[in-house]
Amino acid sequence: MSSAVLLEQLQGTISKFVSWLDQYGETSCDFQTFYASPVGQKAKALYYKQPLLGTMAVAPIIFCEAFLPSARRLFWKPQRFPIADAHYAMGFAALSQTLEEKKYYQRAVHFLEVLESTRCQNQKHYAWGYPFDWVGIRGTIKKGTSLITTEPYVYEAFSKVYEIDKDQKWRKIMRSLAQHASEDYFDVETSSRASRASYTPSPEPSGGGVVNASAYRAFLLTKAALDFSEEKYRRQAERNMHFALESQNADGSWFYAMDGKRDFVDHFHTCFVLKALVKIEQLTGNSSCTKAIERGVNYYVENLFDKAGLPKPFSKAPRLTIYRRELYDYAECINIATLLRGRFPELDKKLSSVLNDLFARWQRPDGSFRSRHLLLGWDNVPMHRWAQAQLFRSFCDLLSQTKEKHESKFLMPEKSANTPVLS
């Protein structure tokens, strides 16, 4: 579609979504709501300890996920999610700059003020995590534990608003968060040049190594090193970056984790790693990132989309899935494709297919987006973290980029007979 048509479509979609957000509110259920309840936590923990018994315990929950998604409201209460608030802040900040409307800047500030009030209370520095206990294969991450997968988005949110208003209050929080990322997470050396970062501020058992966690920390500390002229941040970032680079498989893919167990390759985690490396490349011009990005994008477009050009959840799945497609994958596809727009023609084609499908099938009459395309029907429960906020931010960034490129075409001076031609 032309840039003019895309601009009109994006503005209409965003406007409709903002109206829904105003009516719906800023709390929601979540993908993990089924497992946030005491029953869900016990069932999931049992599954990891004793798979056979655990399968029977989680089967009713999986049935609800597949056929009764609205039942998640019975398991846990709607909550705020800092990572979603950060995405909303960034989206509204982008809108305020693109459309030059103060009301959007005020919405961005609102979400930053919310983030100020929802920081982890057990940390010296500013930090954020999840509002529920999260049971994983390596144990339970308790409510209020800060997560390195959340921190970069919050840092970006404060940074983007600071670029607009230069309020030193935001910069102080950015500095505090950077110190937290630098001082409170643990590094485990994996080679002479590389270290993997812990997922939380606690020593991890051997065999960890979530790739996107290290990539995220590498980006955050790279940006903070430039923002605050801090050499220590740069050194730490470089080692985490090399872990992500050295974890890349020969075919260009990344496993979720380098622990010999979580060796699945999925859509949005691949985007997470690529996104972090692209941002580092944009900040530093690192040629090693460039090579990894080229190999990663080639794998991504060849293996994580179906024949229709739409996102596949996995290229290598850890288990059977109860859904065909996931909103989170669409959101992250737009994010990475916007960052790399014009650089990889095949990725640009995928972006077009994804946008057309979103506009045609995913936005509901009330303005929200469907969460999942299930094996039978749709999961229509709107979840801010999964991934209403991510999609909103991606649309806002794409709108900004498209408007800038569209307007630049009309600002080019016209050639005349007297205009010299440069060779």
pLDDT digits (tens, 9 = 90+) for 110-124: 999 999 999 999 999
CA-to-CA distance for 280 and 218, rounded, in angstroms? Answer: 8
**How many residues make up the chain in this entry?**
423
CA-to-CA distance for 76 and 258, rounded, in angstroms? Answer: 32
pLDDT digits (tens, 9 = 90+) for 218-235: 999 999 999 999 999 999
Say how many C-beta atoms besides its own lie within 10 A of residue 420's C-beta: 6
| CA distances, 278 to each of 239, 284, 290, 395 (Å) | 16, 10, 8, 19
- Give φ, ψ of 316 to 5 degrees: -130, 105
Q: How many helices (H) and strands (E) does the chain have?
A: 15, 9
Please give the average per-residue pLDDT across 85-102, as a whole number. 97
Amino acid 318: pLDDT: 80
Buried/exposed code over 333-354 (b: 16+ C-beta within 10 A; e: otherwise): bbbbbbbbeeebeebeebbebb
Going from the N-terminus, what domains does the chain have, and what CATH number goes with each? 11-28+78-404 (1.50.10.20), 35-77 (no CATH)
Please give the average per-residue pLDDT across 184-212, as a whole number. 88
Question: Is residue 422 very low, low, confident or very high in pLDDT (cuts 50, 70, 90)?
Answer: very low
Amino acid 411: pLDDT: 60
Secondary element (H or E) of residue 355: helix 345-357
pLDDT tops 70 at residue 419: no
